[in-house]
Structure 1
Amino acid sequence: MSETSRIEYKRELNDKVELEKEVVAFLNYKEGGSIYFGIDKSGKTVGVSDIDETMLTIKNRIKDNILPSAMGLFDVVEERRDGLEIIRVIVASGSEKPYYHKKYGMTPRGCFIRIGTAAEQMTQSMIDSLFSKRTRNSIGKIRSNRQDLTFEQLKIYYEGKGLPLNSKFASNLGLQTEQGAYNYVGYLMADNNALSVKVAKYKGLNRIHLIENNEYGYCSIVKATKQVLDKIDLENRTRSRITSKDRIDTRMWNAIAIREAVINAIVHNDYTREVPPKFELFDDRIEITSAGGLPESLNEEEFFMGYSAPRNQELMRIYKDLELVEHLGSGVPRILETYSKECFVFTENFIRMVFPNAWNLNEEDKSNKQVTQQVTQQVTQQVTQQVTNEVIALVLLMNQEQKREELQNLLALKDRENFRRSYLQPAIKEGFIEMTIPDKPNSRMQKYRLTTKGREYQELLRKERGNK
């Protein structure tokens, strides 16, 4: 495999290797990337002689030499290739661009971005533009309304992993603002807070008959996470079927996928909206909902491919320390090993994951195809409830790049303004349709086409209609 826009090879780490430059370039790149040590420029594996020392040096250089802090945005893992040990540095796209080499500051000498297979200097105008868009309402920058916080629970979890916290742990873990006050991350990690995470259980297929409403929270979010995982694991019962040859045990949901989904929902929830993630159990499914749509730097295709742009890098760092997450970008691919993309519903303000109860499937055939068909119907019905009939009609008829006049004629609509207001604009807002010339919306050459989301939704709608 050769180098790409997301892959950089380094034969070894030494004083001449500009590690910080490569990491900064990936932090500023919309998709992040990976740096491999122990592979030369031709793609030949040569290995790394001292894995532990090299990994420690990489971590320290990234931690000490890059601003804003990249903690929670990178991972250093050991891998084997061609029988040799190599190191992979996984770097996510950051939300506080521009990132820069601390030694040179926020200047072209210190700011880089990935262009093709190289890390290139950014111009001053690019730096200024990115800085003007920098996220300022992240939970790491929001001052906690309480400053009398204690962290005994967090200390116990760290000690349990052999990582005792020193006197500077609040600063090292990103629990404080730049001014030294506890931030919202600290509030979430504190022994006492007002955050409540609900696990609701309903009888039937809707939210009419609530039979349990468990609240986990008012404590460190790490403790709340473990309580939610324990509760859902308890509900994830096993049913056994005896055949002439074997005993077949079937759990309601795949335990690995559900664990990843729960942690993803908690770690990537948009807490600036003051809405915690929600977990709901029905007779035929489990629904996991987190606040906040996709991060600005990710689209759906990149999301499913495992590209990572952590919304809450401080939470990600702590959850990685405590081994609640494996490494950056691993959660969604793990879920997709069992469940299909149709299990995910994206809106502007929320992401919902819907996983069917395997017990409801035909005992004769529990293949992934059946799981997909069931989830398709459930998810389509939920999405359709949020979309107007006009948008549905427009999505269903599109099959290529088409002009406004063509679409309007296909719908037999005479009123141009009505078509724009009721059909076209809502479909674009939902992310189902996009312009072919977005920079010139009024161009006479303008056409419209389905987005990846639109094509998937069209397929869901057609399947739903074919099943009726």
Structure 2
Amino acid sequence: MNLYESETVELKEIYTPDIKKEIVAFANTNGGTIYVGVQDNGEIVGLTNADFVMQQISNSLRDSVRPDVSMFTKIELLQEENKFLIKLTVSQGTKRPYYLSDKGLKPTGVYVRSGTTSAPASEDAIRMMIKMTDGDSFENNRSLIQELTFTSLNQEMERRNLEFSEVQMKNLGILSADDIYTNMGLLVSDQCQHSIKFAVFQGLDKLVFKDRKELTGSLFAQLTDAYKTIDFYNGTKATFHDLLRADERDYPEDSVREALLNAIVHRDYSFSGSTIINLYSDRLEIISLGGLVTGLSLEAVMLGASQTRNEKLASLFYRMKLIEAYGTGISKIISCYKGLPVQPKFENVEGAFRVVLPNTHSHEISVEDEKYLPILRLFEKQNEITRSDVEEALGIGTTYAINMLKEMLDKELIKKVGSGKLTRYVVK
């Protein structure tokens, strides 16, 4: 019996706990055979306690490697030259990547065979194995992080009197049949790797920051925090109809809620970037990564068509009554602006989807600003105006025109373009 180490053969003089790394490496690569009781040079030295070693290997397979690899291994007791040795045959597993349960789905826990050694797999290699085994569905793929907690989700479930047991976690797709957390589980866990980046800008562009924050944690925590943050900045304006006072928000609350839910439930989480929320003086923008599902046009979505990218996530949100029915979000947003002079916009480009909610009061002029209306009406006929246009239209002197334009700039009603004799003004 001539033995030598190769890409598919590993020789061990004695049993050590490290043998589990070799088992994982062979199961993750092309399979192989491990002989215990054989020196590196191929000389058979035998084992005095072969039965005990077989039991140790069997226990190690059961307790130290995940998913269960035992069905892809065969342990045999051989006798050569009146000496006992163990032959452990490992086949390539069908649920790769296999990993050391105490290390997890990361390079320190996942090994592959490289030449005559077992080496840690890179994170890219781990992701590739997961994709090859679990398919293209991000939700169903095994999570690279297995140390997960579900405080936020549990609270949300309790609030709705919904059960949150291990059986339920499997039904929801949070846990696989092998008791391994999926990416769906990662998204709704407290350890979720994605976030929402929220920024408030002064004016209509990104020149001046007023506030910025990053919202992290479970998607449910992010949804709650994002809604509260927007609500804080969502101004209220009192209006009077037949002497009855009505308080109206800058952004209809239902439109904000639907736009947030749309961004969180339907974005592509295989992208690592954050969901973006930008608040300007005249609009709220929510940008989610991934764009529409391939084959679904913006026109079809506007008509109410729906094809969700994250079926399990959408199902959980539906179960928790956060979304009422699939494909109704955009129509609800549109209905919130019915009859208003400003309307929401929806843009789909490769890799991103943007919802723009206009400030319902941004077009209105307050009583104290009514004196600027004659100047603002100049923009109905031309895109930009000069100081001399103001003097001529209003029949006023240079100093008064300069002061009026300065006040309008301070109130962010208009914006200055150019300088010196080339100074022009445009509507913000």
Q: TM-score, normalised by structure 1?
A: 0.46
Aligned amino acid, residue 166 of structure 1: S
Aligned amino acid, residue 261 of structure 1: A
Question: Which residue number corresponds to residue 274 of structure 2?
Answer: 276
* Post-superposition offset of 1:177: 4.2
Structure 2 counterparts to residues 289-328 of structure 1, below 5 A: 289-328=287-326
Question: Which residue number corresponds to residue 350 of structure 1?
Answer: 352
* Post-superposition offset of 1:273: 1.0
Aligned-pair identity in percent equals: 30
Gaps of 5+ in 2: 1-133, 367-426
Give the distance between the partners of 1:246 and 1:195, measured in 2 at CA: 45
Give the distance between the partners of 1:242 and 1:227, measured in 2 at CA: 32
Aligned amino acid, residue 259 of structure 2: A
Aligned amino acid, residue 165 of structure 1: F
Q: In 2, are the aligned partners of 1:278 and 1:289 still within 8 Å (CA)?
A: yes
Question: Which residue number corresponds to residue 108 of structure 1?
Answer: none
Q: In 1, are the aligned partners of 2:267 and 2:291 still within 8 Å (CA)?
A: no
Structure 2 counterparts to residues 29-428 of structure 1, below 5 A: 136-177=135-176, 179-217=178-216, 219-241=217-239, 245-339=243-337, 343-362=345-364
Q: In 2, are the aligned partners of 1:304 and 1:333 still within 8 Å (CA)?
A: yes
1:362-419 Cα distance to aligned partner (Å, 9 max, x none): 359xxxxxxxxxxxxxxxxxxxxxxxxxxxxxxxxxxxxxxxxxxxxxxxxxxxxxxx
- Residue 353 of structure 2 aligns to a residue in which SS? strand
Gaps of 5+ in 1: 1-134, 365-466
Question: Which residue number corresponds to residue 97 of structure 2?
Answer: none
1:415-464 Cα distance to aligned partner (Å, 9 max, x none): xxxxxxxxxxxxxxxxxxxxxxxxxxxxxxxxxxxxxxxxxxxxxxxxxx
> Number of paired residues?
231
- Residue 359 of structure 1 aligns to a residue in which SS? coil
* Post-superposition offset of 1:323: 1.4
Report the CA distance shift for 1:142/1:276 in structure 2 as closer, same or farther (over 3 A). farther
Report the CA distance shift for 1:222/1:342 in structure 2 as closer, same or farther (over 3 A). closer
Give the distance between the partners of 1:241 and 1:254, measured in 2 at CA: 15
Give the distance between the partners of 1:250 and 1:152, measured in 2 at CA: 35
Give the distance between the partners of 1:164 and 1:244, measured in 2 at CA: 49
- Residue 220 of structure 2 aligns to a residue in which SS? helix
Give the distance between the partners of 1:295 and 1:244, measured in 2 at CA: 47
Query: Which range is displaced more, 341-350 or 181-190?
Result: 341-350
* Post-superposition offset of 1:142: 2.5
Give the distance between the partners of 1:244 and 1:334, measured in 2 at CA: 28
Q: In 2, are the aligned partners of 1:198 and 1:278 still within 8 Å (CA)?
A: yes
Report the CA distance shift for 1:244/1:173 in structure 2 as closer, same or farther (over 3 A). closer
Q: In 2, are the aligned partners of 1:138 and 1:272 still within 8 Å (CA)?
A: no
1:164-216 Cα distance to aligned partner (Å, 9 max, x none): 21222221111134654211111111122332211111111111211211221
Give the distance between the partners of 2:330 and 2:240, measured in 1 at CA: 33
Report the CA distance shift for 1:248/1:167 in structure 2 as closer, same or farther (over 3 A). closer
CA RMSD of aligned residues (A): 2.4
Give the distance between the partners of 1:293 and 1:214, measured in 2 at CA: 24
* Post-superposition offset of 1:289: 0.4
Q: In 2, are the aligned partners of 1:137 and 1:272 still within 8 Å (CA)?
A: no
Aligned amino acid, residue 227 of structure 1: D
- Residue 337 of structure 1 aligns to a residue in which SS? helix
Q: In 1, are the aligned partners of 2:343 and 2:357 still within 8 Å (CA)?
A: no
* Post-superposition offset of 1:248: 4.1
Give the distance between the partners of 1:145 and 1:310, measured in 2 at CA: 24
Question: Which residue number corresponds to residue 449 of structure 1?
Answer: none
Q: Which has the higher contact order (CA 8 A, sep 6+)?
A: 1
Q: In 2, are the aligned partners of 1:307 and 1:329 still within 8 Å (CA)?
A: yes
Aligned amino acid, residue 262 of structure 2: N
1:241-278 Cα distance to aligned partner (Å, 9 max, x none): 45773334331011111110111011001110112311
Aligned amino acid, residue 192 of structure 1: Q
Give the distance between the partners of 1:147 and 1:362, measured in 2 at CA: 52
1:331-374 Cα distance to aligned partner (Å, 9 max, x none): 1111121348860111011111111111211359xxxxxxxxxx
* Post-superposition offset of 1:225: 0.7
Give the distance between the partners of 1:185 and 1:166, measured in 2 at CA: 16
Aligned amino acid, residue 353 of structure 2: I
1:144-176 Cα distance to aligned partner (Å, 9 max, x none): 111111213212211110112122222111113
1:55-111 Cα distance to aligned partner (Å, 9 max, x none): xxxxxxxxxxxxxxxxxxxxxxxxxxxxxxxxxxxxxxxxxxxxxxxxxxxxxxxxx
- Residue 207 of structure 1 aligns to a residue in which SS? coil
Give the distance between the partners of 2:243 and 2:346, measured in 1 at CA: 37
Give the distance between the partners of 1:287 and 1:173, measured in 2 at CA: 31
Give the distance between the partners of 1:244 and 1:306, measured in 2 at CA: 37
Aligned amino acid, residue 195 of structure 2: S
Q: In 2, are the aligned partners of 1:201 and 1:211 still within 8 Å (CA)?
A: yes
1:85-143 Cα distance to aligned partner (Å, 9 max, x none): xxxxxxxxxxxxxxxxxxxxxxxxxxxxxxxxxxxxxxxxxxxxxxxxxx933222322
Give the distance between the partners of 1:336 and 1:161, measured in 2 at CA: 29
* Post-superposition offset of 1:307: 1.5
Q: In 1, are the aligned partners of 2:346 and 2:354 still within 8 Å (CA)?
A: yes
Q: TM-score, normalised by structure 2?
A: 0.50
Give the distance between the partners of 2:323 and 2:279, measured in 1 at CA: 23
Give the distance between the partners of 2:140 and 2:164, measured in 1 at CA: 22
